[in-house]
Amino acid sequence: MPAQKLDGKALAATMRGEIATQVKARAAAGKRAPGLAAVLVGEDPASQQYVKNKHKACHDVGFTTTVHRLPATTSQAKLLALVAQLNADPAVHGILVQLPLPKQIDGEAVIRAVAPAKDVDCFHPENVGLLAAGHPRFYPCTPHGVIQLLARNGISLAGKSVVVVGRSNIVGKPLALMLMQKPTAANPAAADATVTVAHTRTSDLAAVCRGADVLVAAAGVPEFLTADMVRPGAVVVDVGTNNVNGRWCGDVHPGVWDVAGWVSPVPGGVGPMTITMLLHNTLAAAQQIDG
């Protein structure tokens, strides 16, 4: 029997409806709409599409949103000046600087320049540190999307063996933190799981993956996770987004659907949830800044 689908597109629509309801309640109370400012440097087609999708999602839930488009030749000083301007703008609650940035710009310096209270991607070292300590200001968008996709499909993670394949600062590391931590009032999305972080250099990676109740593929390698690496009935979350000869695919091979119990598709799985959690963080930022 083929695996059940972890439908991120449908869940994202539900959660965006919940966010829109909260935005309407803020408006009724006379409070400012959450505002997100996106910064796009250069003409990268994938980045342009991502920003377009985020802009539309903001509009759909009642946020105010602006997109600042800068040429690929923009200097680091000019980009940092724009970030400083957005930090000081009371109508902006969240700042998104679309990555990757052109080679002449130090991306780490830009990440550090965003005010932590407006860092709705949760990339700033201060926010990463708060997450590691179990007192998150925000949750990183893709990891939080993964957690919500599982939780809202009734998949309990407490005590389960979870293998995360990938160790990036954007997905692998923060997701492992969220999965391993104990839930508290300050950290409600923590999952109480037993976590292994693996990667493409892990010895006998297939055996490590087969030991997982829940397997998260976030290595950025097209269709590397094959059916022989998955325990029958396991839950598989595909975080990969790869364009191969004009076709979008994930890190999970199609054959996995014949073995696993649940699988998230690409597209339509984690991707819509990532944008939804960006909206969630922007609303949270507005509540923290404006009340």
Active-site residue list: 54, 98, 121
Angle CA 112–118–122, to nearest 5: 65
Among the residues of 29-106, which ranges form H helices? 45-61, 76-88
> CA-to-CA distance for 211 and 282, rounded, in angstroms?
37
Question: Taken in order 169, 174, 175, 180, is the CA torsion positive or negative?
Answer: positive
Beta pairing partners, 39:
68, 97
Residue holding tokens 């994202």?
12
Both tokens of 14, joined, read: 């539900």
What number of other Cβ atoms are within 10 A of residue 69's Cβ?
13
DSSP state of 252: B
| Cβ proximity of 163 and 212 under 8 Å | yes
